[in-house]
Amino acid sequence: MPNGYRSYFEQQGWTAEYFPDKAATIGPNTMAYMQGMFKASQFTEQTYNACRGILRLYKDYGLERLELACMMALKGNSYNYRIIQNILTNNRDKLLHVQPELFWIPEHQNLRDPDAYTLAYHPTIIDSSKSKE
């Protein structure tokens, strides 16, 4: 890397440790994603702008959504800015909140408690088995 670029990065205080430390203030998934970006990159200096972009996304989407997007992206083992941006712009991170509500069962008369499936709950079944012996 040319010395002019290197001195610019040093002047900004950017290092491979700086960005994960900044991401740790957002959350552990964001920090892990940034660390993965640096591990996957052949040249760490080329990762700085992508990291800056990811950190900047919280202004538009908020800290919680950025943290969820990084959690989703970590499952894919591919590290770049576009993945996080696409998750946020397509609202893929919001699907994590919706899914538990899909399996909600309303209360009604036909629901049985766990005791309804034991033999002690059905005495006629127990009596009929004794009469055969």
- Enumerate the domain spans of the chain: 3-96
DSSP state of 42: S
Residue 29 has pLDDT above 70, yes or no: yes
Residue 115 has pLDDT above 70, yes or no: yes
Cα 86 from Cα 70, distance rounded (Å): 11
Length of the chain as a residue count? 133
Contact 89, 117 (CB under 8 A): no
Residue 15 has pLDDT above 90, yes or no: no
- What pTM does this model have? 0.64
Cα 18 from Cα 34, distance rounded (Å): 10
Tell me what the mean pLDDT of segment 69-94 comes to: 92
Mean pLDDT of all residues belonging to the chain: 79
**Cβ-based neighbours of 31, under 8 Å, separated by 6 or more:** 20, 21, 23, 24
Report the largest interatomic distance among the alpha carbons of the chain, rounded to a whole angstrom.
95
